[in-house]
Amino acid sequence: MFGRIKNIDNRVLEKIGKIHKPVLNKIMIVASRSANIGFIWWMVCIPFLVHPDWRLTGLNFVLALAIAHLMGEIIIKHIVKRVRPCHNLGDDEQLIDRPRFYSFPSGHTTASFAVVGVALLRCRLITFLPILVLAILIGFSRIYLRVHYLTDVIAGMILGLCCGIGSVFLMSALVSA
């Protein structure tokens, strides 16, 4: 079964590699870098934390990001220890610096979908949709840039959504207690 998954991961990387274009490369690099250390998501938190009516949602975003980081970066990555696809490429094929840490799950995607999970339950559609689109773009950029496999990104999406949605229930319980 793992051999089959690895074959699918490699085929996806190969097919996405065929669509590389200079303009698309730049877009994907910007999308990916916007989520380095969760930067874009911390910027999203600021207006929510500042506005009194939205403060609970802002705190919920922070809680979701913290849980996602703990689960993905600190626990799961160090258990699975999956090597990134970029470590099998030559330097001329790499569009960004090779990340130092493990591949599974995608931390960028986990953080992005933790925010999506909170926004799904706490925000209006006009706020939720741009967050969702940006999260999908960030997840795709990680595969495009060959720093993650498809399964890393899918796992990050699932983990992030679980962390985000779970944090809403946790926050609701804390607030009502």
Domain 2-176 sits in CATH at 1.20.144
- Cα-Cα-Cα-Cα dihedral sign, residues 45, 49, 52, 56: positive
pLDDT digits (tens, 9 = 90+) for 18-63: 898 999 999 999 999 999 988 999 999 999 999 999 999 999 999 9
pLDDT digits (tens, 9 = 90+) for 140-153: 999 999 999 999 99
Q: Where are the domains of the chain?
A: 2-176
Q: Which pTM value belongs to this model? A: 0.92
